[in-house]
Amino acid sequence: MPERPELPEVVQRLIDPEVADLRVVTDSSAVAGGAMRVIVQARNAAGATATGGEGTVSLAAMGPDGHSNAGKVELRRGVGRADITIPEPGLYRLEAVTEDDARAVTDPIEVAAERPAVQLLWGDIHSHVRERRAQALISDADELMGPPTIEAALEWARDVAGLHFAAVTDHDLKLTRREWEQTIEAARRITDDGRFVAFPGYEWGDSRGMAMNYGHRQVVYRRSRVRGVEPLPLARCCDSGTTTADGLFSALHSAVPLDDVLVVPHHTARGGGNTWMNWDYYDPDLERVCEVYSIWGSSEKMGEPYPVRYIATGGYWSTAEARGHHLQDGLARGYRFGFTGGSEAHDGRPGRPLIHGRDLIAEWEVLSPPGITGVWATDLTRDGVFDALRARRCYGTTGARIIVRFALGDVPMGGEIAAGALSGPAELRAEVTGTAPIRSCELVKNNRGIDSASSPSESLDVEFSDPAPEAGDYYYLRITQTDGEMAWASPIFIT
Ligand SMILES: [Zn+2]
Ligand SMILES: [Zn+2]
């Protein structure tokens, strides 16, 4: 019998059952007296689930009136879940404490007296499961390296990452028609209104072959069928007619109601391998949002604290970013898009990848932390979330569940207002409840920071005023916490 190959060191670290810390996650928006899901995850030193985590975890709600008991969670093989309620409105955090006195605290939770018009939901519409190394090498540790199927990846997004919505968007070059059907079916099966929704999607783009020099884009659909009956198109970059960005756009325009599809450019400034976004090809009807941040770094502008990286032979390298390919370069052309954050998981762990599945590289050591998207949605349904994304009522973060509201009068983030409707200065309000003190909340106008505020606490509520708004102007927020976590609120456009 052939000898079992030794598992790579990174895999050994991932399957370590020893508990190093706890993570506790829950909703950011809740209603007093309503059910709220809590997930507790025991993690090992590599940040993966520590299967040795067992026992009872006590939960306490920390709010305006101090601590109160909020129930218990039983940990089994490192993960536990419970539904709890907080009876009184206010701003809260939950603390989880194990029998061994290990502790973790959630990000802030806004508990409203009544159901608000929009609630903050978290998701990741950029992830993969299909980048895997030869199965033989991985053998029985494969399961522990990451969920092996699309369905399992979506369950992981819901049950471990604690997301409200997700899309697995595998690379089109590796996606067969049969696998595409499985992708659609997995998203349909797992969608459970009020709990978790999944969207069918894939990634269009090539780094080396015929469709390079256009950039990479996710294609994400609202529904499982076009107009309820027809199959969802899989327009691949290797298929005749859709090897160019324009070809993709026209294929989608002719096949799908525009309201039911999003095309999302990502790592737009990633130099090397021609994987940057070519802004000569942009579709305003389809490309309503662009990914501002993922494990590859931030594509907002040159010189970010999270510079965009790319794969070079033998490892990951911070590289000179591709000048002219950032989101600011697209906005400067007059394009109107909002911002998302993505994980770009390649190990089937949407929202919280741990390894680059193909290369077995520990992402937590070499890349930036994974991003997520916050949306202000009317409800947790496919329509609620998709409408919010199409309306650009969304923002990207470096993973922290920072609560961000941004509005010009009653026009929320991502919205538009005619210059003629503004009499006098633009009054912009930023309300932030962070997960750490706020080092800066910058108001960016037409790509230039024009004002800034900070807070020694985790909360900030500030009015910015711009005396002379004109048609063509746009304003967005760049928020940086003292712990380095960031958020980018989608622009508001003056038309
Ligand atoms: Zn890509
Ligand atoms: Zn990708």
What is the CATH code of the structural domain delimited by 12-111? 2.60.40.10
| pLDDT at residue 423, as a whole number | 87
Q: What is the pLDDT of residues 170-196, one digit of tens each?
A: 999 889 999 999 999 999 999 999 999
Q: Helix, strand, or coil here: 446?
A: coil
Instruction: Grade residue 469 by pLDDT with cuts at 50, 70 and 90.
Output: very high
Q: How many CA atoms lie within 13 A of 397 on its CB side?
A: 25
| pLDDT at residue 485, as a whole number | 98
Write out the H or E segment, with its range, that includes residue 67. strand 66-75
C-beta separation of 72 from 57 below 8 A: yes
Averaged pLDDT, 257-268:
97
Q: What pTM was computed for the model?
A: 0.96
Distance 100 CA to ligand 2 centre (A): 40
User: Domain spans of the chain?
Assistant: 12-111, 120-399, 407-494
Cα distance between residue 56 and residue 323, in whole Å: 52
Q: What is the pLDDT of residues 96-151, one digit of tens each?
A: 999 999 999 999 999 999 999 999 999 999 999 976 544 434 555 565 678 888 99
How many C-beta atoms lie closer than 10 Å to residue 100's C-beta?
8
Q: How far is CA 458 from CA 369, 376, 436, 454, 485, in A?
A: 21, 20, 5, 10, 12
- The answer to whether 12-111 and 407-494 have equal CATH topology is yes
Distance 348 CA to ligand 1 centre (A): 15
Distance 405 CA to ligand 2 centre (A): 28
Q: Which ligand sits nearest to residue 345's alpha carbon?
A: 2
Distance 55 CA to ligand 1 centre (A): 40
| pLDDT at residue 352, as a whole number | 92
What is the CATH code of the structural domain delimited by 407-494? 2.60.40
Cα distance between residue 403 and residue 391, in whole Å: 18
| pLDDT at residue 137, as a whole number | 46
| pLDDT at residue 5, as a whole number | 60
Token pair of 373 as six digits: 């998207």
Give me the chain's average pLDDT, please.
92
Averaged pLDDT, 368-393:
97
| pLDDT at residue 142, as a whole number | 60
Q: How many CA atoms lie within 13 A of 460 on its CB side?
A: 31
Q: What is the pLDDT of residues 44-100, one digit of tens each?
A: 999 999 999 999 999 999 999 999 999 999 999 999 999 999 999 999 999 999 999
How many C-beta atoms lie closer than 10 Å to residue 215's C-beta?
24
| pLDDT at residue 135, as a whole number | 45
In sequence order, the β-bridge partners of residue 345 are: 127
Distance 127 CA to ligand 2 centre (A): 6
| pLDDT at residue 141, as a whole number | 59
Query: Could you list which residues have their CB under 5 Å from ion ligand 2?
Result: 203, 344
pLDDT greater than 70 at residue 320: no
Distance 18 CA to ligand 1 centre (A): 34
Distance 370 CA to ligand 2 centre (A): 12
Cα distance between residue 473 and residue 341, in whole Å: 23
Q: What percent of the chain has pLDDT over 90?
A: 81
Query: Could you list which residues have their CB under 5 Å from ion ligand 1?
Result: 216
**What is the bridge-based pairing of β-strands 165-166 and 119-124?**
parallel
Averaged pLDDT, 403-427:
96
Domain 120-399 sits in CATH 3.40.50.300: no
